[in-house]
Each structure stands twice: as structure tokens, then as C-alpha cells.
Structure 1
């Protein structure tokens, strides 16, 4: 391949194995409907959906919000101040008077139940349902609905009033409790419906000092959620390099009228677990209290994600391609057709790549062989899936994996692409081979070390494919810088995304235009993608709503360099 041609946007190639004929089909791009929240929330605006004592309160927009007087008492403030400053305990400190709790591990988190005087949460929710304009936010890191900043909601009396309460009462009170100098507050509303989530991040950026979440769930019987309903604030511990580690250490379920806040730092890793209930949305007001430059920010900027390791081809392994591959892909005419299409589009999908019997044997082994050893791939803010310990592979699975690192495969890929992967002109071709197992809750995110530093040839092969699991999206190089900023917290508030309106719109347009290719799972299909330096990719989060009736999805993921 003489030069790097960019991937064609939203395009997929298909090879008809019976006629050696190449066809094309468009990949549909998801379009968000900003009116969807109002439709989903319509039934909740009925007074019967709220507690019985909310009659009149929901429509009483002239009433002011008031902070619970218990938290303004000197003895409670002093108790919180002492508990916050005491770096103790695996067990939380608890105040018997207010029910307030402070956790010290893995980082400082405070929970304040009943933040506002009774009867006001229903009115806030009523205003959010009827007056807030919601925008759908979808990226590698999150899916949920968000409002504009509360400072831009002049028509929403109570939400504006809540922002003033944060500025005038909560901010100076938090300064006293935490000992931090806080200059201003930013806040927005977030709504997570069934299937929505926000993946692991630390919120660390420049002047963010305290992140906060205020929970609103005033519906009768749903004031406090169970873990089964999802939407928990999930807290992660971290290793000596400040990378978050599995499993989740602590879960804090949504609870009506509860205010949670934590110190933003290099270890403040958290996520919003996927909402699994269809009955009610997870509604919050969230954001940050800002101050001087966060001390942890400068040190954190140099933290690098681990990258793939590349090996030279295995010259001792000499598989017989005719016993493994569909015969059509060994024909010279087919190879020429494949090469032409890759030169034009930089990608192609080869259906029924392996002989059907080999595919079936490998799939059955992966589903049933308990001697195969799997480990979870982290760190949690980069990816979450399982990889096979290649030393435990045997039988047909080992046969396929060895093929991808063999000289025979390097030779075949040269015929497919004209890259210098084999022969007298090849200098030091290398490859990375990984067998992945994908289930509910798995993902990779942008900036996870998978950005291409060189021109690279990717191979993606599926076994036991299921729609919606292990879907891979390639993005153009210019989106990497913006997405890395999102992951580092520039666009993610306490437990939700937060930007200025014009930046939000620019980001949405940028993401829509930057999608080069989406690979959807198809059994026994080999996807070949030639990507230029700087091109990045992520594997979409696997929602709990994704049917995996046949078991997990397996992916052989390979990358080759000249």
C-alpha cells in the first residue's frame, strides 16, 4: 500500500463468498431525540406519581428552597469538620443526629441526607420535568441526558434558587467543613434512564476541588433505590500508580434529598452504574465547587496508559492455510479484489473467513472449556473486558491464535494489503494478538492506549457474536484530543458531563463527523482495517439490555505493523 488513505466515513465492505463479488452497505448513525426525555417523563408529571403530600408544592414556584437547619448548627458542623480531617477508618463515621456519614477510604466522601427542608424535592422535579430542555449525551464514556448550566435557566425559578443556595450557603459551609478555599460553583441537571451510564473517571481538572451530587427521587416507593435498580455512585480503589482497580469498592445508591460530595484528586475514581429500572429516571443536580489549581492536577497529567506489546512473527509455526481458511480467500483473484477495496476504503469485512467446522469447534471450546484461564483487563478507567492467558490455549483455539502470528498470516495479509509484512522487503514486521471475552458491563474508552502511533493494520474476528456486544468504533485523529479531555474530566461533572453550551454543540458535531467506521459483530467474519497514525477506536459499553442468551462474545483482536 503506497499511501495511507483515510477510512471512509460510516462505510462497510462486504465480500460475497460464493461469487467473489464485493458489495457496500451504509452504517446507520444513531440520532438522538431531544424530546425523548419529555415523552419518558410525561407520566411522572401526574401528581399521583409523587408522594401524597406534594399537592400544591409542585406548582408553587414562588416558594424558596431552604437548607436543613440541622446542618447549620455549630456542633454538627464541628463534628463534620473533625470527621473530614481525620484520615481514619475503613468504617464510615456517622452522626446520630443527622445521619450524615463520612468515608475516608478509598477517598473522602460525605453523605448528607435530607439536605433541604421537607416538601421541596417534588417541586424541583416538577420543574425539571416541565421546564428543563434536555440534551442527549453519547460518547465512549457515557450515555445520559443533561441540561444546560443552572446559571442559564432564568425561566426555572427553583433551579436558579437552588444554585443560589449552593453559592451563598453551601459554599461557605463547605469551606468550613473541608478547610478548602472555594471560589465559585458550577452545576447542571442530569437524567439517566434505563440503560444509561457514566464510566470510570476522576473529575480531576485544574481548579476543581469538590464534586457534588444532589439526588432527586420523590416518588412513592422509590425514595431510596436498591442496587438492583442501578444508578449507584460506584467508588474505586487505586493502585500505587493511581490507576483504578476492579472490583468496585463501594456503592452509594440514589436516595431522595441526599447530598453527596467528595474531594477531587488523583484517586477520586468513580462511575455511575448503569440504570436498570424502567420505572423511574435517576435525576440529579451535580457539578463542582472550584478553587485554586488542584495540587494533584499537574502530577496527574503525566500518567500514561499501558499500551499493546508487539512481537515478531513466529517462524517455527507453519499452519496449513488450506485446512483452516475458506478456500475462496486463498484464490489470487479474490486477493486482488480485497487489495483493491482496502486501497479504496481502508477496510473490508471477510465473511465466513474460517472453514465452518473450524469456527464451530473453536466457539464450542471457548464456551465450554473450563481449563481456559481468563483475567480482567484494566485499569478501570481505560477498559473492562477479559483476556485469555494464551499459555492455557489448546486445540482449535490454539490453532487459530497461532495462525494470526504465523509467517503464513503475514504472507496472506501482504497479498490482501500490499503492506511489507512478509518477504525480502519486509524489515521488522510485528503483531499483537489478543483473545477477548465480552459480557455485560464491558467497555474500552478513548485514550486507553489504543490510539495508533503508527500506520497499523487491525484484524477483528468474532465468535459467538451477539448484536450490541463488542461493537467497535473508529474515530478520526482530530477527535482524540477532545475525547482525551473528556476522559480526564474536562466535560464530566461530579457524576455527569458538564460544558458550556457552545462547546457542547461543537463536541456533538465533531463526534458525528469523526466516525470513520463502526464494526458490528458477525460470526466467523474477519474485519480488516488499515488505520493511519493518530486514528483511535473504542469498544462500546455492553448494556445489561443486550441479549447474551448464547453466552459471552469472543473477539480475536490483532494489530500488525510493517
Structure 2
């Protein structure tokens, strides 16, 4: 955690700390980046560099090594770090450094002033682009399993993004590389153009555009200092015109046919008393997790078939990187086909009504099957959130198959969030041989959290069933449905 590397920094700097605080910190741009030949090259690359204008400038700062070390140590000891996690990233981050206490953190304050003055003036002259006085700057810290998924930085009037790196002796095996992406004719990211490892006192700089796709790969290991940087944006009056991308819409089906659900789900789910208990629990919490939900012989057959099935990686990487199985394709046969048929059946619809107590008018459902392995994820876009609102509320079922249970922090969790709220509404962890049930309100949106290195080598397979058209029964007590709830463990 943050305390661990603060202690390390204190040990490294205790002997000179008092003397250091009395010294002035001066930052300047290295002279090799101010001569006319570099400026001419920079302006040329700004017009034509592929896949978008970007530069990795080593030894960018002309600064005393002691000052650079002091800046690093102040960052490590900074008290304002906050944990940040959502569909796109997991890391520690500071508030904007314009709020930093210059008495307690004089070197950070001096660096912030350098960004707003000398650095901004250098970039404006070098690029030939007038920059606004506004400069955003925050500290970022990536530790074990932290990452930042592909994104373009296209927000408001950002023109140039910058990242200064301060961690020394950073090896490629530690992860944390910045990936720069090629993109297609729709400006969607495709393959990795370059994977950059950043030495101390290097600057990554790029022009923000609809093509400026980049990511930070997962940091690996705990036997090294964290990946520390100061990053932010310079702004212009140029308006941002983000490309509107279509949402992912899955085909809907009307429930039909009668099947024998007892061949699929465990017998204990069909007792009348238990159904009433489940309905009561679901209506109290809007969610539940039922362990050992399948017939053992059926679960084994499905798992064997899933292990040998054809899985196709789905992108683009700014929206998802996850392997899916085509439930409507020719390869859907055997026990998997029986399961899909059961989920789409009228019998399943009747089961849903009895378990939830909901009434359904003209019900429809969607099904998708995906495989959780290291490095997979989904990301929510504004267009996806809008589509969820249009779709209306749903009852979501998640069915999990696998050979071994993963560590709790391995990822693959289905996270339900509300727009513009950082705290999740619900966390639904992948629990093998279990069935999770969630009532999703129309303004609540799910995503699959990035699966990290802690995941087992054996994948977890997930079937998602969403049922639409339900009317939630009235409740006696008022509940706002919010909070950092976790799916209830139910031993049924």
C-alpha cells in the first residue's frame, strides 16, 4: 500500500531532509530541446507523425540530480494520494497539484510553477500553437496489478498531454509500459504501434486527438518502487469533436418452449418453500448469489465443452477485449446448446417470475457467453450508458463455470455503477458453479473489471442472461437502492 513506499522514501532521505528543505529547486528545459533543428523536426512531426504526434524525450529536464530525487521523495510522502478505480483504470492519484502546500512540498510546488510558466512557454513556441494559461497536473502512482486501459484523452479543450517520469531503475519486466496504438479508418484503436518504457527524467508528450489512443500496461510485482509520474494537459481554444460510436446492442428473444430445468439447475431450487425464501431475499436486496446452482453432471459436461469451444476475442480495445462464444452459431451444440435453449425458454421465464416476484409484460431476453482470462475487460462508453437507459430495467442472471476459484482481487467482477458516481452500486464476483441474480435499474450500468495477473491459469466461463419487461413489486419500506453493496452469499 501507500504506506510501504512512504517508509522506503523516509529511510532514503532522513539524513539530508532538513538541509534539503532549505535549498531552492530550479527546473529548466534541456538545451538540446530548444535548438532550431529540434524545433523544426518537432513541427514537422506534429503534422505527419504516425499513428499520431507523440514524443518520448529523455533527460528532458535540466536539473540537479538531488532536486529530482527530492521531487520523487516528496511525491512518495505526499499525504493527498487517493485510490481511484473504475472501468478504465486502477491506480493512486493526487488532486490537481495547484492545491499542493508549497511549505510542506516546496519541490512539487516549484515543479508545478515550471509547468505553468517555462514548460508552457517552451511547448507553445516549439509547436507554434498558442496555449491557454490553464494547466492540469496530478501525480499518478501505479503499484502491483494497477493499469490504465486504452483511451484517447479527448475531453473538453485538451491539446497536449504530458507525463513526466521520476522512478529510477524501472525494468521492462515490471510492466507499466505506455502502449501507443494504431487505429483504423473509424479511428478505433487496433494493434500496438509502440510499447514505451520510461527512464527517470523522461517526458512523454503527445497531441490529443481522436487518434491518440494509449494505455498503461499492468504493473507486475511488489519488490520495486511504484511507478511514479506527474501528468496532465495543456489546453487551447480548439473545440473537441469526439466521434459518436454506436452502442453494443445484443439481439433479443421472446421466451418460448418448455424445457426440463431440473436437468440444468440443482433440485433444491425448485422447492416451494425455498422459492418463497429466495423471492423474499431478492426483493429485500435486489440481488443474491446462489452457490452450487447446477446439476453436477450437467455442470461437468458444459465445462468440458466450454474448454474445447471456439472463442473469439472481441474489440475494439477501447471498448472491450474479451473472448466470446457465439451462442447462435453452428458451434453451439451439446450441453451448451441445451443450456442456451433452457435460458431462452418459457420455463425459465416462469422460474424468473417465481424467484423474483416480478410481473413481466411482453418479456424479452438477451444472452451472451464470455471467457474470463488475464487481460480481459469491458469499458463503458457514454453511448452504452444511453442504451442501457433506453433498454430500461432488467433482471440479470450470471452463471459461472470453471475448474478453480480465483483470488478475490483477480478481477473479472461484474461491477454495477451509476453515471457520475465513483462508488459502485453492486459488485458481482465470478464464483464458479454459482448463479448470481441482480435487479438492474435503468440508470445503473454493468462492466467487467480488468482481469489481472492474480487470476488462475484456468479460465472462468460466464453466461449472462438479461430479462426485460419486468414490473418490480411494490415494497413497504423505502430503499434508495444505492450503496457499496456486494452480492449476498446464499447457501441455497
| Length-normalised TM-score, structure 1 | 0.75
Unaligned runs of 5+ in 1: 1-35, 88-103, 483-509
Alpha-carbon distance in structure 1 between the residues aligned to 2:128 and 2:171: 32
Alignment of 1:72-111 (within 5 A): 72-85=34-47, 87=48, 104-111=49-56
Residue 442 (1) aligns with residue 376 (2): yes
Change (3 A) 1:121 1:388: same
Unaligned runs of 5+ in 2: 470-492
2:464 aligned partner: 557
Give the conservation status (yes or no) of the 8 Å contact 1:61–1:157. Answer: no
Residue 383 (1) aligns with residue 337 (2): no
Give the conservation status (yes or no) of the 8 Å contact 1:436–1:555. Answer: yes
Alpha-carbon distance in structure 2 between the residues aligned to 1:454 and 1:395: 33
1:169 aligned partner: 118
Query: 1:81 Cα shift?
Result: 1.9
Query: 1:59 Cα shift?
Result: 6.1
**3-state SS of paired residue (1:76):** helix
Query: 1:288 Cα shift?
Result: 0.4
Change (3 A) 1:399 1:60: farther
Alpha-carbon distance in structure 2 between the residues aligned to 1:202 and 1:83: 19
Aligned residue among 399, 404, 416 for 1:461? 399
Alignment of 1:184-263 (within 5 A): 184=133, 185-218=135-168, 222=169, 224-226=170-172, 228-245=173-190, 247-263=191-207
**3-state SS of paired residue (2:247):** coil
Residue 511 (1) aligns with residue 422 (2): yes
Residue 39 (1) aligns with residue 39 (2): no
Give the conservation status (yes or no) of the 8 Å contact 2:278–2:355. Answer: yes
Q: With CA pairs under 8 Å and 6+ residues apart, which has the higher RCO, 1 or 2?
A: 1
Give the conservation status (yes or no) of the 8 Å contact 1:137–1:146. Answer: yes
Give the conservation status (yes or no) of the 8 Å contact 1:58–1:122. Answer: no
Residue-by-residue CA offset, 1:401-433 (whole Å, 9 max, x unaligned): 221112221222222234445xxxx53x22111
1:30 aligned partner: none
Give the conservation status (yes or no) of the 8 Å contact 2:287–2:437. Answer: yes
Alpha-carbon distance in structure 1 between the residues aligned to 2:90 and 2:20: 28
**3-state SS of paired residue (1:129):** helix
Alpha-carbon distance in structure 2 between the residues aligned to 1:314 and 1:176: 68
2:281 aligned partner: 341
Residue 157 (1) aligns with residue 106 (2): yes
Alpha-carbon distance in structure 1 between the residues aligned to 2:442 and 2:53: 41
Residue 272 (1) aligns with residue 216 (2): yes
Aligned residue among 25, 28, 32 for 1:66? 28
Alpha-carbon distance in structure 2 between the residues aligned to 1:268 and 1:81: 17
Alignment of 1:284-433 (within 5 A): 284-294=229-239, 297-300=240-243, 302-313=244-255, 315=257, 318-367=258-307, 369=308, 372-390=309-327, 391=329, 392-421=331-360, 426-427=361-362, 429-433=363-367
Residue-by-residue CA offset, 1:74-121 (whole Å, 9 max, x unaligned): 222222222333x1xxxxxxxxxxxxxxxx222111111101125242
**3-state SS of paired residue (2:71):** helix
Residue 142 (1) aligns with residue 93 (2): no
2:456 aligned partner: 548
Query: 1:55 Cα shift?
Result: 11
2:480 aligned partner: none
2:484 aligned partner: none
Alpha-carbon distance in structure 1 between the residues aligned to 2:198 and 2:437: 44
Give the conservation status (yes or no) of the 8 Å contact 2:28–2:118. Answer: no
Alpha-carbon distance in structure 1 between the residues aligned to 2:358 and 2:17: 71
Residue 538 (1) aligns with residue 447 (2): yes
1:122 aligned partner: 69
Alpha-carbon distance in structure 1 between the residues aligned to 2:461 and 2:84: 29
Query: 1:257 Cα shift?
Result: 0.8
Change (3 A) 1:170 1:469: closer
Give the conservation status (yes or no) of the 8 Å contact 2:374–2:455. Answer: no
Query: 1:45 Cα shift?
Result: 4.1
Give the conservation status (yes or no) of the 8 Å contact 1:59–1:123. Answer: no
Aligned residues: 453
**3-state SS of paired residue (2:439):** strand
Change (3 A) 1:321 1:146: closer
**3-state SS of paired residue (2:179):** strand
Change (3 A) 1:135 1:339: closer
Query: 1:262 Cα shift?
Result: 0.7
Change (3 A) 1:434 1:131: closer
Query: 1:366 Cα shift?
Result: 2.0
**3-state SS of paired residue (2:422):** helix
Alpha-carbon distance in structure 1 between the residues aligned to 2:321 and 2:272: 40
Residue-by-residue CA offset, 1:102-142 (whole Å, 9 max, x unaligned): xx222111111101125242222122233453222222322
Query: 1:320 Cα shift?
Result: 2.1
Across the aligned residues of Structure 1 and Structure 2, the Cα RMSD in angstroms comes to 2.6
Change (3 A) 1:419 1:77: same
